[in-house]
Amino acid sequence: MIDLKAYGLTEINEIPDGLLAGRVTELRRERFTVMTERGEVNAVLKGAFYHTAETRVDFPCVGDFVLVRYNESGDSLIDTLLPRRSKFSRADYSGHAAGFAKTILEQVVATNFDYVFILSSLNLDFNVTRIMRYLTQARQSGGQPVVILTKADLVDDYTLPLAEVAQSMPDVPVHAICSHTGMGLNELEAYLTPGKTVVFLGMSGVGKSSLLNALMEQDVMAVQAIREIDSRGRHTTTHRQLFMLPSGAMVIDTPGMRELGLFDADEGIRIGFADVEEWFTQCRFTDCRHQSEPGCAILAALAKGSLSHERWERYLSQQNENRFVQDKTSYLIEKNARNKYTAMWSKQTRKNGGHKR
């Protein structure tokens, strides 16, 4: 018998006959893995979910507590979604579920977590404003925010950024860690107690997989460098989405949670490149692609030298990854613009005898 308290189930009213309480540990398409007191079961939703759900918000996701009708010889049936104490959701434009949902505006990506670890890297792109924006998001989710400054080994002195965060958000705990050496991980033990659940929020590359691996004491997630080499995708070792740590705490890591980080990266770019985006307001056409349009303020600024080529290129490439996640069409338009621009510029550079202007 598995005690579901270990999985974070706190209170439960009387369970109707024939049903078992459980927690969703994995979700792929419409197939669920649910941990129950009888162990892990495969489950699908009972039909009523599809008939009565207004939006996908009403569908169970990873982290949810549910009641299942246990089936010994096949799929169990998820009968009831229990109330959530916290959740993260994202806008969903996929339309996959259009057949049974009227409006798909929100897709829940993780629920019933106790802590939101806001990860931010101490090297290059350390940015307190961005951390504050994540903090707002974390507070709205219902989880308790904790700021984690990663890659402490890459800076000479992390006490300054640490103090800066502490001063800007006095009521939020902040810790500096290094997942490679294990430095600072002991400070996280206070949160990672049995039955507690954590989610990680933060931009791509801040070290979410690395921290998860360090806490799991084994490689359950491929970190970026490895991923590029074997190109087999993110989940090389396991497809688990709710991880039980050796400490008895759990980490929810769903693709949707990772996308939240990317969405926010867009705002980070907007702030970091406000000077570039300022030019857009001066283009003659509001839908200017800044390629060859007449009256394009970007092209004019580039020609005059009031906007440097390097900065424009950096802006375009930073938009890149983020766009791809948000909207594949605009990503392709952007990519096209970038290629054209690079080709044009290198032609020009060659004309100038190899010197970039």
Ligand X SMILES: Nc1nc2c(ncn2[C@@H]2O[C@H](COP(=O)(O)OP(=O)(O)OP(=O)(O)O)[C@@H](O)[C@H]2O)c(=O)[nH]1
Q: Which residues contact 55 (CB under 8 A, 6 or more apart)?
A: 101, 102, 103, 104, 105, 106
Please select the residue that binds ligand X; options are 201, 223, 296, 316, rule is CB under 6 A. Answer: 223
CA-to-CA distance for 105 and 237, rounded, in angstroms? 32
Q: What is the DSSP letter of 261?
A: H
Interaction between residue 124 and ligand X (CB under 6 A) = no
E-strand stretches of the chain: 19-28, 31-36, 39-45, 65-69, 76-81, 87-90, 107-111, 115-121, 144-150, 174-176, 197-201, 242-244, 250-252
Question: Of 57-65, 98-106, 168-176, 276-284, which part binds Zn ion (CB under 5 A)?
Answer: 276-284
x/- map, 253-272, ligand X, by CB under 6 A: -----x--------------
Residues 334/323, Cβ–Cβ less than 8 Å: yes
Alpha carbon distance 310, 60 (integer Å) = 46
**Is residue 283 within the footprint of Zn ion (CB under 5 A)?**
yes
219 contacts 237 by C-beta, under 8 angstroms: yes
CA 126/CA 225 separation, integer angstroms: 21
Q: Are 130 and 201 in contact (CB under 8 A)?
A: no
Residues numbered 203 to 222 that lie near ligand X (CB under 6 A) are 204-210
Sole binder of Zn ion in the list 19, 27, 257, 288 (CB under 5 A): 288
Identify residues 307-326 at the interface with Zn ion (CB under 5 A): none
Say whether residue 229 binds ligand X (CB under 6 A): no
- In the complex with ligand X, which residue's Cβ is closer, 32 or 113? 113
Q: Tell me the C-alpha distance between 110 and 131, whole Å.
A: 20
- Could you tell me which stretch among 42-50, 175-183, 287-295, 333-341 binds ligand X (CB under 6 A)? 175-183
- Pick the closer one to Zn ion by CB: 258 or 290: 290
**Half-sphere exposure (CA, 13 Å, Cβ side) for 7?**
23
Candidate list 23, 87, 208, 290; residue touching Zn ion; CB under 5 A: 290
The single residue among 154, 160, 190, 332 that binds ligand X, judged by CB under 6 A, is 154
Cβ at position 312, least distance to ligand X in Å: 25
| 204 is an annotated ligand-binding site residue | yes
The residues binding Zn ion (CB under 5 A) are: 283, 288, 290, 296, 298
The residues binding ligand X (CB under 6 A) are: 150-151, 153-154, 178-180, 204-210, 223-225, 258
Residues tagged in the binding site annotation: 150-153, 202-210, 283, 288, 290, 296
